Amino acid sequence: MIEDIRKGNRLALSRVLSQVESGSTAGSDLLEQLFPLTGHAHKIGITGPPGAGKSTLVNALITSLRQLPADPQVAVIAVDPTSPYSGGAILGDRVRMLDLQSDPKVFIRSMASRGALGGLALQTEAFSQVFDAAGYDFVLIETVGAGQSEVDIVNLAHTTIVVDVPGLGDDIQSIKAGILEIADILIINKADHPGADQTLRNLRTMVEMGYQFSQSAKHRLQSPPSQPASQPAPTTAWKPPILKTIAVDSSGIEALRSAILKHAKWLKQTGEWERKDERNIRATLARQISNLLFSNWQSQVDPALMETTIQTVIDRKKSPQDAIRSLLAL
Amino acid sequence: MIEDIRKGNRLALSRVLSQVESGSTAGSDLLEQLFPLTGHAHKIGITGPPGAGKSTLVNALITSLRQLPADPQVAVIAVDPTSPYSGGAILGDRVRMLDLQSDPKVFIRSMASRGALGGLALQTEAFSQVFDAAGYDFVLIETVGAGQSEVDIVNLAHTTIVVDVPGLGDDIQSIKAGILEIADILIINKADHPGADQTLRNLRTMVEMGYQFSQSAKHRLQSPPSQPASQPAPTTAWKPPILKTIAVDSSGIEALRSAILKHAKWLKQTGEWERKDERNIRATLARQISNLLFSNWQSQVDPALMETTIQTVIDRKKSPQDAIRSLLAL
């Protein structure tokens, strides 16, 4: 199976992904065997509010990456965290992506959160490990950017692209404030729409402020040399470029591709690539351990006692804290 | 302290919330003492994409609820899950809410996810318990609706209001598909904008489909009488109304208020109110136990062994599964 997916057998790859998604022992065993082969793919997160045109941008970016002289393999994980109940597919997006499916070096996999054992972030990480081990050079992770779960997903990427559009309401400022800090590259898509220059000015001010702040924070942190030698701060900071694109006609996509390649180079030169890998492994281990501890506990607790305890809480005869104390004392 | 907040002492309430937010033992003790007093407030989740005008809608709704003959107390928890890094406040929104702060029976509390011990959903639940115990009749929980964490937050509400606006991009369809299933009331805000009727038609079709589906699913489920007698399905299904509003001039807010009161009545008549309470308590207990198990484990594991084990994974000499096996075997 592993031989097959390394050789580019798409059916085998599809099967491995499904087994991993199902959470079966076979899937877990496959992941374990694939792990030593990972660590090479450039993982790129693409996030932004609904309506920003992320899928169109991803499509244009795939085409552009495929034209690189190195003839790279490109995988896409389309995460749909908005559909925890229906597990529904985003039909329109998938249809648009169909023309790319004929390229044997492009693989697009959609993932709904339903059935995501252990959470969406773990599942996305597992998928990107499969693609990585299968020899894919780029793994694009597309997600609606808003909540903590999306941030978790994006955190596993080497490069995070935040997509904005002109003319969204004032609420959108709340998105920018939080999400700007995770952006390595900022995109103003639909740049032919009215208000693009205003959006550009706003983003530029915010990036400039964030950059100044991070520089001064770094300076403050470095004054007492308390950081462990194994984790020096990058010598040159990365200043997120702000690029205008019109994804529907591929305007600006070449500049985006250049920025991505430049960021990869910066990551490797500064050692940030390895640090991101390390942070990612730590976070993944913590999540997996947490899930295991809980499921182990669940399998050991007496179901009858659990039910009566929960009932006393529902009846307000016991506080949740009390209930937990008696349940964990077992 | 508890006496004080029951009497309407805002400073005391503010202090209790801060202690609960800090995760201190005092905060946890207070929550425990307050718990028996909970179970009365009508918790209402308001969610929707950025730019939908949720804050304006919430403001108008507070004003409208305050005009009810019963003279109810209204609390708002404004959750900002988009800001996991900055913990930044949504300044604009808060400014707009300032005029309401002079009303002694309205309390608005903003909450960033930074410092949310045990996760945003637990923190929101804790806050709503404080307001509930303090005698607030309505607790509005406002959040950007997109990811799993928002769904978790919204799940603790009795009534979920999903706010949409005309003219968002095609990506927004992905929001609707997932979030529609949690909506008890659907709002098309900014209904004077172009495309409102199209949005209404789309939503109506989707609600109709969802309703038919849930009815047939219920029918299938009921054929073999396998459900426990304690949890009968509601005899009459709730069909989410779709309402047009223009929150900036309070158009349609009275109809929204009526729908909320009607939903509360339906919840109580069908026993769904108690079932929601029970589900909420179960989910909260599970989250708290999971967090505790992990922090207990963390405090017991040998840090040196943990570091060397993680390092072998980073070096790809050990798989994460292997590492977890050796770490949990302790």
Model pLDDT for residues B85-138, shown as the tens digit of each residue = 333 344 444 444 556 667 889 998 887 655 445 567 788 899 999 999 999 999
Q: Closest residue of B to A146, CA-based?
A: B82
| Residue of B83, B132, B214 to mutate for A, most A C-beta atoms under 10 A | B83
pLDDT of residue A236: 79
Nearest to A88 among B120, B151, B177 (CB): B177
Is the whole-model pTM more than 0.80? no
Mean pLDDT of chain B: 81
Specify the pLDDT at position A37: 94
Going from the C-alpha of A324 to that of each of B3, B124, B292, the distances in angstroms are 26, 19, 9
- CA B35 to chain centroid, in Å, comes to 18
Q: How many residues belong to chain A?
A: 330
H helical segments located in chain A: 2-6, 10-22, 25-34, 54-66, 91-97, 120-133, 148-155, 172-179, 196-222, 253-270, 272-300, 303-314, 320-328
Of the candidates B278, B287, B11, the residue with the CA atom closest to the CA atom of residue B123: B287
Inter-chain CB proximity A82 and B146 less than 8 Å: yes
- Bigger pLDDT: B276 vs A260: A260
Burial, B99: exposed, middle or buried (Cβ in 10 Å; 0-12, 13-18, 19+)? exposed
Interface membership of B54 toward A (CB under 8 Å): yes
Considering CB atoms only, which of A35, A178, A314 is closest to B84?
A: A178
- Contact between residue A281 and residue A287 where contact means Cβ atoms under 8 Å apart: no
- Measured CA to CA, the distance from residue B232 to residue B249 in angstroms comes to 42
B10-54 pLDDT, tens per residue? 999 999 998 998 888 899 999 999 999 999 999 999 987 767 888
* Neighboring chain B residues of A147 at a CB cutoff of 8 Å: 81-82, 144, 146-150
> What is the radius of gyration, based on Cα positions, of chain B?
22
Mean pLDDT of B153-172: 75
Quick one: which H or E segment has residue B299? helix B272-300
Q: What is the pLDDT of residue A122?
A: 82
Chain A residues with CB under 8 Å of B52 CB are 169, 171
Name the residue with higher pLDDT: A85 or B116.
B116
CB within 8 Å of A104: residues ≥ 6 apart: A8, A10
Whether residue A289 is predicted with pLDDT greater than 70 in this model: the reply is yes
Separation in Å, CA of A318 to nearest CA in chain B = 8
* Residue entry with tokens 């990811």: B147
Put simply, whether B209 touches A (Cβ < 8 Å) is no
Which of B35, B80, B94, B174 best probes binding to A when mutated, by most A CB atoms within 10 angstroms? Answer: B174
Which two structure tokens, joined as six digits, stand for B255? 């109809």
The distance from CA B169 to its chain's CA centroid, rounded to whole angstroms, is 25
Examine the pLDDT at A73 and tell me if it is beyond 90: yes
pLDDT band at residue A211 using 50, 70 and 90 as cut-offs = low
Q: Is A32 near chain B, with CB under 8 Å?
A: yes
Look at the alpha carbons of A80, A161, B163, B111 in this order and tell me if their dihedral is positive or negative: positive
Q: In which band, very low, low, confident or very high, does the pLDDT at B151 lie, cut at 50, 70 and 90?
A: low
- Residue A204 sits at φ, ψ, to 5 deg, of -60, -45
If contacts are CB pairs under 8 Å, which of residues 98-117 in chain B contact chain A? 113
Angstroms from B282 CA to nearest CA on chain A: 7
Highest mean pLDDT among B11-20, B178-187, B254-263: B254-263
What pLDDT is attached to residue B76? 92
Does pLDDT of B149 surpass 60? Answer: no
Q: Would the CB atoms of B170 and A92 count as touching at under 8 Å?
A: yes
CA atoms within 13 A on the CB side of B80: 28
Which residues of chain A from 166 to 205 reach within 8 Å of chain B, CB to CB? 168-175, 177-179, 181-182
| Contact check, Cβ <8 Å, A93/B174 | yes
Contact B178 A278 (CB under 8 A): no
The residue of A91, A171, A285 whose CB has the most chain B CBs within 10 angstroms, and thus the best one to mutate to test that interface, is A171
Q: Which residues of B touch A31 (CB under 8 A)?
A: 319, 321
Q: Write out chain B residues lying below 8 Å of A52, CB-based.
A: 169, 171
Task: Give yes or no for residue B174 having a pLDDT over 70.
Answer: no
Average pLDDT of the segment spanning A208-216: 63
Residue A146 CA to residue A167 CA, distance in Å, equals: 18
Phi, psi of B44 (to 5 degrees): -125, 115
Q: Which of B190, B170, B81 is nearest to A52 (CA)?
A: B170
Count Cβ atoms below 10 Å from residue B229 Cβ, excluding itself.
Answer: 6
Instruction: Name the B residues in 239-268 with CB < 8 Å from any A CB.
Output: none
Residues in contact with A274: Cβ distance below 8 Å, sequence separation at least 6, in sequence order: none
The closest CB to that of B39, out of A83, A175, A316, belongs to A316
Residue-wise pLDDT tens digits, A214-257: 555 544 444 444 444 445 554 678 989 999 999 999 999 999 99
pLDDT band of A101, cuts 50, 70, 90: low
Measure in Å the smallest separation between the Cα of B264 and chain A Cα atoms.
19
Give strand pairing partners of B161: B46, B185
B-chain CB neighbours of A32 within 8 Å are: 319-322
* Cβ B81 vs Cβ B49: under 8 Å: no
More confident residue, A175 or B163: B163
Strongest mean pLDDT among A106-115, A210-219, B318-327? B318-327
φ and ψ at residue B161, rounded to 5 degrees? -105, 120
CB A41 within 8 A of CB A140: no
Nearest-neighbour CA in chain A from B104: distance (Å) = 27
pLDDT tens, position by position, B45-93: 998 776 788 888 999 999 999 999 999 999 999 876 554 333 334 444 4
Please tell me which residue of chain B has the smallest CA distance to A121: B148
Give the mutation candidate from A174, A176, A213, A310 for the B interface (greatest B CB count, under 10 A).
A174
B86 → closest Cβ in A145, A177, A293: A177
